[in-house]
Amino acid sequence: MVKKFLKIITINIFLIIFLFIGFEIYFYKKDTDFLKKNFLSNQSYHSFKKEPFENKFKYFYKEVMRKPVGLNYKKKPILFLGCSYAYGEHLNDEETISYKVSEKTKRPVYNWSCMAGGIQHVYYVIDKMPKITPEPEYIFYLYFSDHLRRMYTNVYKVDCYENLQYRLKDGKLEKKDNRYNIFDNSYFLSNIKDYILLNYYKNTKNSHNLFIVYATHLKNRIKELYPKTKFIIVVYDEMPYRLFQELKNNGIEVIYIYKCTDINLEDEKYKLPKEKDFNQHPNGLTWDVVSDIIVNEYNL
């Protein structure tokens, strides 16, 4: 009886392992083929240990980050933070929001945005980058609705760097070590995780509370580094009303782009063509509109 039971357990264990490996291979091929087909990445990665985020920071913010523009101007600088939208993915320098704001205001403008970033990346950058002098008059964080999901997962499964996350410890943010997190490093499990995030968790009270924790610590860190700088969250598309109210209650100013213009930025005219960019990021025309709004709203 005992031998029969152990045999059943052993068979089930091997069956689970076999199924897991099969699903892992399937999702690995599916994810990498999708990215290569749509010109998003030529990288393939299939290890259960990822590189520390610090290595990505050293590479991206030394090699890929947008260079500051308008350093010859004498007015107080401006800093943009965010993801590929604020970075200007697939755009030339002169098409980006940072360049356009610099030209329109005659100010130095810095752009520390990163592709596939979220609010935790914004906090990391503010905390780690050298201070800007003189201190910026404004820091604008360009919020995109997918930033809620990105608090929990990497945008691309093939990213060889760990998923950047923080935990609260003694009232401060402490970076987690996610190098060995199987739910991030397994293609199969990360796809399951993303399905749950997209369908059930993205806009819950818990995700809103986590965003508020990040935003509040970001505001406080900015205040420590740049006491006179004004911090503004610029909502590109949409933000849940509860989240908006909680941010206001915590003394964080939020501005909605769509409330400041009658132009529909979802029109194809304001997006990159799909042949060039599968995700159809905003094009230079978009940043003409958004830069005008920011310049006029804050009298830059």
Beta bridge partners of 175: 166
pLDDT tens for the 300 residues of the chain, in order = 666 666 667 766 766 665 656 656 666 666 666 555 555 555 555 566 788 999 988 888 778 899 999 999 999 999 999 999 999 999 999 999 999 999 999 999 999 999 889 999 999 999 999 999 999 999 999 999 999 999 998 887 667 888 999 998 888 999 999 898 877 777 777 777 777 776 666 678 888 999 999 999 999 999 999 999 999 999 999 999 999 999 999 999 999 999 999 999 999 999 999 888 888 999 999 999 999 999 999 999
3-state class of 287 per DSSP?
A: helix
List residues bridging with 255 in a β-sheet: 234
Percent of the chain with pLDDT over 70: 82
Beta carbons of 132 and 77 less than 8 angstroms apart: yes
CA distances from 147 to 116, 150, 163 (A): 9, 5, 13
Nearest to 139 by CA among 219, 248, 247: 219
Q: Please name the residues in contact with 197: beta carbons below 8 A apart, sequence gap of 6 or more.
A: 149, 152, 153
Q: Which CATH architecture has domain 41-297?
A: 3-Layer(aba) Sandwich (3.40)
The 10s digit of each residue's pLDDT in 33-65 is 655 555 555 555 556 678 899 998 888 877 889
Residue spans of the domains in the chain: they are 41-297
Contact 167, 106 (CB under 8 A): no
pLDDT digits (tens, 9 = 90+) for 65-107: 999 999 999 999 999 999 999 999 999 999 999 999 999 999 9
Q: How far is CA 225 from its chain centroid?
A: 22
